[in-house]
Amino acid sequence: MHRYVPLIPVYLLYGALFVIGSQVSGMWQPMALLAFYAALGQAFNIFMGMTGYVDFGYVAFLALGSYGMALAISSFAESLGAGVIVAGLLLALGMATVLALAVGAIALRLRGAYFAIATIGVNEGVRYLIEGARLWGGSEGIIISRPLREAFGPEGANLLSTFWADTLVYLIAMLAAFITVQYLHSKIGYALMALREDEDAAKVMGVHTTKYKIIAFITSAALGGLLGATGWVLKLTYVFPADVFAVHYTVEAIVIVLLGGAGTLLGPLAGGMIYAALKYWLSISFPGLQLLLLAPIILFIVVAFPQGLIGVLKAKAKGTFWERVIV
């Protein structure tokens, strides 16, 4: 049971966010924002943090997950009723996984900058294919507010997008944390750590690097798909290709993982919460200038703390009681 001890602070934090959000009036949305970014960081971290490969097209998985949910609702909302949410989650999971398999088979042969460029290419390629071939509504996207209202009634649809969508994000975040702990303490985690340090050496030592990279890649992508389906589509009730494929979200995920500490359990959680809180505060205090202020902050972090907050704490905690908790 040792390995699950570090999950206690993680779940306490998510629980605290949920309780503050539901009890203090006006705090639900800000807390949900924190939870979404923490979840995004945790899902992204499973691949990028553990392998060191930078997937610059990660947002494509959230996008396909969004399309999965939107397609399920727009085609089956009448026949399936409330079960359509489950169908949507499954479709989101499936579409993100299929794309991950395809991308993994192609791009994971590449390393470093070549991998990053290939994944950007995949992201943009899928986006322009949807727009160019007028797939799934083309550049007009899919709007699901009407089928949702028809299937759940106006109040049910409202509750779904203002409460259940965010609650599902919390659950996905907790699932991602659980998987992270599982991986960190299993053969997968050790293999990934070995390949992150030196892929050729790991290969020579008999680690089946491709297998473990693909496992991590698909896990991370599937969780991303679920996040897109819930945190984006169910919440906003639409999906537009120009929005869901924006490179900008991938960069946010990278910032979160780097800020907290790549490859750690607590890192993406801390990074996501700090990033979301900072972004929220900047957008309220300096409307329109948040990016102008955020860019130098990112540069400072990259130069001054490349190992991230939890990375620094972890080094400090070595040999003390806290070693077990800060993972």
Concatenate the DSSP letters of all residues of 76-103 into one string.
HHHHHTTHHHHHHHHHHHHHHHHHHHHH
d(CA 305, CA 313): 11
| Residue from 1, 287, 303, 319 in contact with other proteins (CB under 8 A) | 303
**Taking contact as CB under 8 A, which single stretch among the options 87-95, 133-141, 157-165, 272-280 is the one that binds other proteins?**
133-141
d(CA 307, CA 304): 9
Nearest to 41 by CA among 249, 240, 309: 249
Residue 312 lies near other proteins (rule: CB under 8 A): no
Residue 201 lies near other proteins (rule: CB under 8 A): no
Q: How far is the CB of 109 from other proteins (least distance, A)?
A: 7
Rounded to 10°, the helix 247-260/59-80 angle is 110
Q: How far is the CB of 117 from other proteins (least distance, A)?
A: 5
Residue 249-288 contact track with other proteins, rule CB under 8 A, x = bound: --x--xx-xx---x--------------------------
Residue 76-115 contact track with other proteins, rule CB under 8 A, x = bound: ------------------------------xx-xx-xxx-
**Phi, psi of 32, rounded to the nearest 5 degrees:** -65, -35
d(CA 155, CA 170): 22
CB 216 within 8 A of CB 46: yes
d(CA 223, CA 289): 32
How many residues of this chain interact with other proteins, rule: CB under 8 A?
Answer: 45
Q: How far is the CB of 327 from other proteins (least distance, A)?
A: 20
Judged by beta carbon, residue 16 or residue 291, the one nearer other proteins is 291
CB 47 within 8 A of CB 219: yes
| Residue from 14, 56, 58, 152 in contact with other proteins (CB under 8 A) | 56
CB 208 within 8 A of CB 41: no
CB 286 within 8 A of CB 293: yes
3-class DSSP assignment, residue 106 = helix
**Taking contact as CB under 8 A, which single stretch among the options 27-35, 155-163, 248-256, 312-320 is the one that binds other proteins?**
248-256
Residue 195 lies near other proteins (rule: CB under 8 A): no
| Residue from 8, 205, 302, 315 in contact with other proteins (CB under 8 A) | 302
Structure token digits, residue 249: 């979200």
Interface residue list for other proteins (CB under 8 A): 48, 52, 54, 56, 106-107, 109-110, 112-114, 116-118, 120-122, 124-125, 128-129, 131-134, 138-139, 247, 251, 254-255, 257-258, 262, 289, 291-292, 294-296, 298-299, 302-303, 306
